Chain A
Amino acid sequence: MEIDLNYAIQLKDVVKKFPNPAGGEVTAVNHVTLDIHHGEFFSLLGPSGCGKTTTLRMIAGFEWPTSGEVYIKGQPMGRTPPYQRPVNTVFQNYALFQHMTVYQNVAFGLEMEHVPGEDIKRRVGEALEMVQLGAMGPRKPKQLSGGQQQRIALARALVKRPAVLLLDEPLGALDLKLRKEMQLELKALQMQVGITFIYVTHDQEEALTMSDRIAVINKGSALQIGTPVEIYERPNCRFVADFIGESNFLHGVVEDIEKENVIVHLTDVNEKIVGTTQEKLVIGKKVIVSIRPEKVRLANQPPLQQNCFECKVVNTAYIGSDTRVIVELGSGQRISVWEQNKISTLDPNAYYARGQSIWVVMFPENTLVLAEDE
């Protein structure tokens, strides 16, 4: 990997191990390599305990890598302490200074830089205006709502004009509605100030909504790095397909390969299916076939020569925008199908009924063949 000033942050083969209280070591971050561009909104997405927060803390300087290196604007960070790094953090529970006013909280970082008093006043005012809390300066953090505290934490970090802003699940403590509002606001703010954001979250929808690129992390490893579309439409492993959105999984063995098209023999179903892959597969390899519920079609007659299976509706749930149908193949394998309710009707015959016989169709271009996880 090239060390390049064009990147805001680079992680080069970073490993972080913690001593285990029960003896031995726990690997929190396992050989992670990332290149994050200037001005990018980059998310670290994964379940709790996957190492995403540890990765962020290593960029901030609260932890040092066991091996590997963190580069900020091309500079290796080594053991540089947090107070000498050109990054700032918005903490999970905001970590506002309770004994200071809102104004003092925001001014703190500038005072540490010995910014002249007049400039501090102006910049703090601007920062508070930016988060629409200009009048809250004299208040104490405890007198503000959760959403307001969140904005103060944001203003306190952004007033320093960092090269990179690190956000550790900043919306986790807010209720759903406020969280959705703040997602859009954060994204708008990021585009306005043009600062690189590194955003840690376990909420896949949040990551998809806001990010330019996402790194999906599990058990300390970055499994896939890509745009939201790439991550959702072309997951590279079962974990990513399962963690981002929902998916049906069928086990199989590769029977034939023709460029991107793969013919898979489904072991449980005992049928053949044609799918696409981006991986280098060989005949006889065990694979997982993944197809998203909204990409499965239901039909009364099989419209294709292949990839159509007769099945029975075992359950339906009408949820307004969609009808969620669970069908069962002859082998007992169940597949989840989401049908959009595109026609407004009260006619019960327009919806699927339990016990109904039907064909399930999986178009080859929607059927992803993934190598089975080791």
Chain B
Amino acid sequence: MMEHISAERTSLKIRLIKRLREDPSAQGIALISPTMIYLGIFMLIPLLLVVVLSLMTRGPYGNVVYRLNLANYLRLVDMLYLRILGYSLRTAAITTVACIFIGYPLAYYIARIPAKQRSLLLFLILIPFWTNFIIRIYAWIMILRTEGILNGILLNLGVIKLPLDILYTPLAVQIGMIYEFLPFMVLPLYTSLEKIEMAQLEAAADLGAPPGRAFWRITLPLSVPGMVAGSILVFIPAMGMFVVPDLMGGAKTILVGNLIRNQFLTARDWPFGSAASMLLLILTLLVTLVYTRKAGFGEELLI
């Protein structure tokens, strides 16, 4: 009996190996399966949990009552929440645009200097990632607060008479978010700018284009893939950001990320938090979809 099972196992093993050797699609599945399993366990299942939870009800003690209903979603259709959502969209959009405007000249500069200095500058851009995010935000607090470094310098220079109130305002949140996401814009932009051949710009000059027009007609269009990829990398996490508004916005600025965080940790209303998460997810997907329909995914960067 035991022998029979082991013989059957061996033949199964042999058949499997044979299949893997000969069938390219089996090889593909085998190669991708670790990733699929990982994504399945750590993304798909939690996501399904959120979907299910969003359809449940909060119990009196913050527990989850398993009764299917759409009440959580209906609750979201409220000016208060819609305003938070709109405000989050606006903040993420401003962050993305500001990252393009600040990141573009920086990426352009890095892509144009000699290769040796390039790696140093790229390294400098990545250095902040070595430090804890919270610590870096506290550094910004030190700079922006009323008795902070920025006000100190401006007062000493006589630019202002009274200290500026920047910290704990929407502006501070915006500054913090732009700071946080800038590298995610610079790196893909750099990649696309660096790939533009000098010959393309020489051809433009040769055909009569002064540097300004060559930039608009050649450099800018050819760097669109990097801009799209950077925008996706900035916009999506910016939509869910809650640490920066917490620490730098005081209690005044609340984004959809804070709303969700509060539902789970403070209000202990997991179902409503899940519904808000779903709304955020759908909204982000929609915006990204519309955007990439127009501009592509930046897939040219991969070639």
Contacts and interface: CB of A to CB of B under 8 A. Distances in A.
Instruction: Tell me the interface secondary structure of chain B in the complex.
Output: helix
Given A97-B218, A99-B222, A112-B213, A91 B207 contact: no
Interface in A206-235: none
28 contacts: A61-B205, A62-B205, A62-B206, A81-B210, A83-B205, A83-B209, A83-B210, A87-B206, A88-B206, A88-B207, A89-B203, A91-B202, A92-B199, A95-B199, A95-B200, A96-B203, A97-B200, A97-B218, A98-B222, A99-B222, A108-B207, A108-B217, A112-B207, A112-B213, A156-B207, A157-B206, A157-B207, A160-B208
Interface in A235-288: none
Centre residue among A81, A96, A112 by max chain B CB count within 10 A: A112
A349 to B, nearest CB: 59
A30 interface: no
A82 B199 contact: no
A36 interface: no
A157 B202 CA distance: 13
Contacts of B204: 97, 108
A93 interface: yes
A112 B214 CA distance: 10
Interface in B163-210: 197, 199-200, 202-210
Contacts of B197: 95
Interface string B269-289: 000000000000000000000
B28 interface: no
Contacts of A96: 203
Interface centre among B204, B207, B209, B217 (most CB of A within 10 A): B207
Interface in A125-182: 156-157, 160
A88 B203 CA distance: 9
B221 interface: yes
A156 B206 CA distance: 11
A109 interface: yes
A118 interface: no
Given A89-B202, A91-B203, 19 more contacts: A81-B205, A83-B209, A83-B210, A87-B206, A89-B203, A91-B199, A91-B202, A95-B197, A95-B199, A95-B202, A95-B203, A96-B203, A97-B218, A98-B222, A108-B204, A108-B207, A109-B207, A112-B207, A160-B207
B17 to A, nearest CB: 42
A60 interface: yes
Contacts of B222: 98-99
Contacts of A93: 199
A91 to B, nearest CB: 6
Contacts of B203: 89, 91, 95-97
Given A88-B207, A109-B207, A109-B208, A82 B202 contact: yes
A374 interface: no
A112 B209 contact: yes
B10 to A, nearest CB: 52
A141 to B, nearest CB: 11
Nearest to B213: A112
Given A95-B197, A99-B221, A108-B217, A62 B202 contact: yes
Interface in A58-89: 60-62, 81-83, 87-89
A230 B296 CA distance: 58
B198 to A, nearest CB: 9
Contacts of A113: 208
Contacts of B213: 112
Contacts of A61: 205
Interface in A98-122: 98-99, 108-109, 112-113
Going nearest first, the 4 A-B pairs with the smallest beta carbon separation are A112-B208, A109-B207, A95-B199, A95-B203
A92 B208 CA distance: 19
